[in-house]
């Protein structure tokens, strides 16, 4: 088939542009669990796009709600003006958030949600009179988007290096421990003591200088790294003790990925701020949010003079009416189809069983999972180069779209997934694991 468009102008994000443009993988249509290539080849989407299309592709209800909203109100400034749908959506969202997180600051993406959360944390510390608290603590292998705050607290070296001095941060060690926890189902048993490092970092910097700690409850882009049992609870205790804002970046773990609306609820640890995006609109429209504890909102807002702007931050598209319409329609689908808890039921169990049936095949060294997120890690090849991308391409050639990071393949399918789709994904990964060149 003749190529209809040129691939030259689009500088693709996080992509090997030269490699891609020689052999493009073009997806032009999607429906349900499947994407369709420009050659109309059906591809099973094992990653919900980029961990976001939680309600499955092509949900007409969302498109219809957006079209209706465009006809009603396409846009109105969120600075000093409001629209009902923004307030309605915020009220609806906080019905899902953990107790106390009843305020919503809207953004357009996960990266912006992270920047906003970091600034809210700093504004809160200032408003509280903790004027020396400016330092931020993240975690090795953490991913918090690509803006300067996010890469400062982030812990993925290629995303940080070469971008200058960044903010004043420090980083916890990551919690991946294959030697002790390989092939754990759900949260690993070993490693709670790693949380004590936070106490040491705070002592080192001085509690009076540390404003916030940010972690993903489960690290996604860093390789699907789960917190050891008790680890997040210990971070919570240490942050409370030192008056430090605890931020959970739930851009991936929110909206049903783990079998609950939020990881905070699933793990029964309540942070001060939650960042959200992706599944909040099932990936249909760019949308993000920060969920904020009432006490933080009240402290910042009440600290400003009456009639003055309390927080000098916001986006042209914060609470965009069309995005809110998409979000409301997404929540309707989640509720109607019980998608936010599917991962903790029979389908989540089937996914876990399927994944762990791959143990012992080829060079697989670890399998990790929780709800409807999973990872299969392969041994490092002797040439030292990551093999995940090769595996991704092999799976793609067999009709399954996966995500690769280093030597790890991540899976995060739409929450509408059925057993027959899981069988195909596991079968394909097994075949690819067997056909990889042996060392
Ligand atoms: C945990 C986490 N935070 C932030 C982001 C950034 O989101 P976005 O790409 O929408 O800016 C991502 C994206 O994958 C993420 O996984």
Number of structural domains found in the chain: 2
Q: Is 8 among the domain residues? A: no
Q: Is 381 among the domain residues? A: yes
> Are residues 270 and 388 located together in one domain of the fold?
no
> Are residues 131 and 247 located together in one domain of the fold?
yes
CA of 338 to the centre of ligand 1 (A): 25
* Residue 178 CA to its chain's centroid (Å): 22
CATH (domain of 34): 3.90.1150.10
Q: How distant, in Å, are the alpha carbons of 91, 105, 135, 342 from that of 167?
A: 34, 22, 8, 39
Residue in the block written with tokens 């991936």: 252
End residue of a domain, out of 337, 368, 401: 337
Mutate to test the pocket of ligand 1, among 51, 54, 111 (most ligand atoms within 8 A of CB): 111
Q: Going residue by residue through the chain (439 aa), what tens digit of pLDDT does each one get?
A: 456 799 999 999 999 999 999 999 999 999 999 999 999 999 999 999 999 999 999 999 999 999 999 999 999 999 999 999 999 999 999 999 999 999 999 999 999 999 999 999 999 999 999 999 999 999 999 999 999 999 999 999 999 999 999 999 999 999 999 999 999 999 999 999 999 999 999 999 999 999 999 999 999 999 999 999 999 999 999 999 999 999 999 999 999 999 999 999 999 999 999 999 999 999 999 999 999 999 999 999 999 999 999 999 999 999 999 999 999 999 999 999 999 999 999 999 999 999 999 999 999 999 999 999 999 999 999 898 999 999 999 999 999 999 999 999 999 999 999 999 999 999 999 999 999 987 6
CA of 220 to the centre of ligand 1 (A): 9
Decide whether any atom of ligand 1 lies within 6 Å of the 276 Cβ.
no
**Domain containing 104: what range?**
63-337
Cβ 369 vs Cβ 185: under 8 Å: yes
> Are residues 205 and 345 located together in one domain of the fold?
no
Cβ 302 vs Cβ 38: under 8 Å: no
> Are residues 384 and 403 located together in one domain of the fold?
yes
Q: Is 1 among the domain residues? A: no
> Are residues 355 and 332 located together in one domain of the fold?
no
Predicted local distance difference test score (pLDDT) of residue 2: 56
> Are residues 280 and 164 located together in one domain of the fold?
yes
CATH (domain of 91): 3.40.640.10
CA of 344 to the centre of ligand 1 (A): 23
Q: Is 2 among the domain residues? A: no
> Are residues 135 and 227 located together in one domain of the fold?
yes
End residue of a domain, out of 319, 337, 355: 337
* pTM beyond 0.75: yes
> Are residues 69 and 157 located together in one domain of the fold?
yes
Mutate to test the pocket of ligand 1, among 143, 257, 284, 286 (most ligand atoms within 8 A of CB): 143
Q: Is 202 among the domain residues? A: yes
> Are residues 281 and 390 located together in one domain of the fold?
no
> Are residues 387 and 320 located together in one domain of the fold?
no
Predicted local distance difference test score (pLDDT) of residue 3: 60
Task: Give dist(CA 417, CA 215) in Å, integer.
Answer: 28
Give the helix/strand (H/E) hosting 168.
Answer: none
> Are residues 224 and 306 located together in one domain of the fold?
yes
CA of 1 to the centre of ligand 1 (A): 35
Q: Would you say the C-alpha torsion 278, 112, 248, 80 has a positive or negative sign? A: negative
> Are residues 168 and 82 located together in one domain of the fold?
yes
Q: Is 360 among the domain residues? A: yes
Q: Is 9 among the domain residues? A: no
End residue of a domain, out of 322, 337, 352: 337
Predicted local distance difference test score (pLDDT) of residue 4: 76
Q: Is 327 among the domain residues? A: yes
Residue in the block written with tokens 């400003």: 304
């Amino acid at each position: 088939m003749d190529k209809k468009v040129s691939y030259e102008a689009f500088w693709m994000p996080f992509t090997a542009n030269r490699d891609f443009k020689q052999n493009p993988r073009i997806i032009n249509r999607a429906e349900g669990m499947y994407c369709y290539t420009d050659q109309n080849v059906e591809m099973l989407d094992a990653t919900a796009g980029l961990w976001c299309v939680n309600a499955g592709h092509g949900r007409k209800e969302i498109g219809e709600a957006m079209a209706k909203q465009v006809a009603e109100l396409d846009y109105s400034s969120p600075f000093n003006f409001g629209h009902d749908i923004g307030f309605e959506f915020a009220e609806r969202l906080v019905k899902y958030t953990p107790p106390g997180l009843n305020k919503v600051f809207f953004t357009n993406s996960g990266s912006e949600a992270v920047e906003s959360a970091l600034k809210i944390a700093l504004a809160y510390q200032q408003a509280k009179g903790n004027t020396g608290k400016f330092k931020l603590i993240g975690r090795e292998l953490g991913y918090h988007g690509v803006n300067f705050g996010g890469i400062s607290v982030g812990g993925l070296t290629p995303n940080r290096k070469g971008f200058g001095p960044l903010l004043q941060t420090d980083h916890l060690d990551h919690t991946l421990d294959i030697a002790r926890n390989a092939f754990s189902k759900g949260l690993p048993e070993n490693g709670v003591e790693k949380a004590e490092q936070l106490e040491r970092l705070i002592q080192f910097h001085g509690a009076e200088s540390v404003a916030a700690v940010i972690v993903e409850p489960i690290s996604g882009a860093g390789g699907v790294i789960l917190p050891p049992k008790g680890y997040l609870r210990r971070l919570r205790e240490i942050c409370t003790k030192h008056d430090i804002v605890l931020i959970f970046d739930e851009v991936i773990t929110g909206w049903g990925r783990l079998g609950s609306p939020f990881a905070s609820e699933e793990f029964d640890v309540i942070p001060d701020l939650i960042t959200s995006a992706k599944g909040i609109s099932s990936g249909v429209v760019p949308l993000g949010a920060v969920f904020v504890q009432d006490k933080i909102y009240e402290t910042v807002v009440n600290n400003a003079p009456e009639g003055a702007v309390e927080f000098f931050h916001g986006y042209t598209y914060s609470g965009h009416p069309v995005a809110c319409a998409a979000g409301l329609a997404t929540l309707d689908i989640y509720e109607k189809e019980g998608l936010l808890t599917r991962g903790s039921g029979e389908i989540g169990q089937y996914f876990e069983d399927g994944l762990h049936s791959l143990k012992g095949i080829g060079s697989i060294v670890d399998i990790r999972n929780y709800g409807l997120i999973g990872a299969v890690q392969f041994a490092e090849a002797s040439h030292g180069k990551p093999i995940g991308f090769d595996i991704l391409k092999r799976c793609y050639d067999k009709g399954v779209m996966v995500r690769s990071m280093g030597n790890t393949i991540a899976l995060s399918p739409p929450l509408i997934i059925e057993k027959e789709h899981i069988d195909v994904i596991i079968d394909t990964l097994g075949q690819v694991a067997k056909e990889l060149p042996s060392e």
